[in-house]
A = this chain, B = another copy of it.
């Protein structure tokens, strides 16, 4: 059994992270103005969300100025990698060198495995 729980952003957190990733850093106002274009929730909701993300250590904030400035600590790349890993986990069902148990962290995948991963990714490439 395995109970290493790695952080995955929730739906809402991901939306906020997207904006932070794009802007590099932003205030709650910045983020909320963006969010509003796509989603229809109040300002304090966004604020609270970002406060929670701060607690979780997903973002950090500079509180020296009155208007706090937030930066992502969880990178876009990591989000992608984590998702990819999650998908690959399901892929290596029978394989003895089960990536499934988090091997992707510890050992290098084999040639064969790399090939499979590439095939898996190919679909995104064709047109």
Contacts and interface: CB of A to CB of B under 8 A. Distances in A.
Interface of A: 1-3, 8, 11, 14, 17-19, 21-22, 36-40, 76-77, 79-80, 83-84, 86-87, 89-91, 93, 100-101, 114, 117-118, 121, 123-125, 127
A interface secondary structure, majority: helix
A14 B77 CA distance: 20
B8 A8 contact: no
Given A14-B86, A90-B76, A93-B22, A36 B1 contact: yes
A90 B21 contact: yes
When A and B form their complex, which 4 residue pairs have the shortest distance between CB atoms, in order from nearest?
A18-B90, A22-B93, A2-B38, A121-B124
